[in-house]
Amino acid sequence: MKGIRRTKNRVLLKRRQYDDLKELSLDSDHYGVVLKPASQLTYQYMSDLIHEMVIKKLNKDPKNVSVLDWGAGKGQISYFLSKKGFKNISLAEVKGYSHTSLWQKMKAKKITLQKDEKLPLPSKSFDIIISAGVLEHVPHDLSSLAELQRVLKDGGLLFCFNLPAKLGLIHQISKFMGDNYHDRLYSKNEVKYLLKRTGLKPMLIYRRQLLPKKMFDYKNPNKMDIIDSILSIIPIISMGSASLEFIAENQNCHIQEG
């Protein structure tokens, strides 16, 4: 686990460029948040971490890795993965989702999500699954995680990003101001409980993002990103981070009751 944590910290502190999406001429009205430099750096961090873990843990060439982006949204994480050589990407979204400009650039497979938790997919279909800002919004997080475990191959990896943390300062301020955008906030123990109940083994659970990325246009987003990453790995200070993130492995173990 120490090796995985070191890999995560190294990826967090990596210096990145943030203008990768300018060439695509995306509609700023619909892709404004995605186009913000600070947001792009975050999505690139996510794709960098996935790429590193695929090579380190799965020992596979990215072009041979099957990816499910569950609740893919605009597809920005998968887009950056495609630039890293991932070719077999499936984007899952609700019927009628309209913001698919990046989807078309990737030529990714499209999967229509149903109203319930069931995924229209065979068991053990994917090497990795990405969940970014989705789990906290589904009606039943436990059932949804169980479905993700079902379609994940034995030894496959689940990456969960932007899970709102219970002690996150941003969420506490938002709640005080009457903004209850997130249906649920999570603690590390609650994440461990959910993974245990669904047969997934946590490899790493960590906090990230103290500084707000979407609210401001930073003059030096690279510097802000590095400072934010440093703060997120300092034990006491990191308690106020907005997000919990985790990497879990499907060991095909028995689901725990109770």
User: What mean pLDDT is predicted for residues 79-83?
Assistant: 93
Query: So what's the pLDDT on residue 258?
Result: 42
User: What mean pLDDT is predicted for residues 115-139?
Assistant: 93
In tens, the pLDDT along 180-239 reads 666 689 999 999 999 999 999 999 999 999 888 766 677 888 888 899 999 999 989 999
Q: At what angle do helices 188-197 and 141-151 cross, to 10 degrees?
A: 50
- In the chain the domains, ranked by start, together with CATH numbers, are 2-250 (3.40.50.150)
Range of lowest pLDDT (157-161, 214-218, 240-244) = 214-218
Percent of the chain with pLDDT over 90: 60
Question: Would you list the DSSP string of 175-211?
Answer: HHTT----S--B-HHHHHHHHHHTTEEEEEEEEE--S
In tens, the pLDDT along 166-176 reads 887 777 666 66
Non-local CB neighbours of 10 within 8 Å, separated by 6+ positions: none
Are the C-beta atoms of 78 and 106 separated by less than 8 Å? yes
Residue 257 pLDDT > 60: no
Query: Which is higher by pLDDT, 156 or 179?
Result: 156
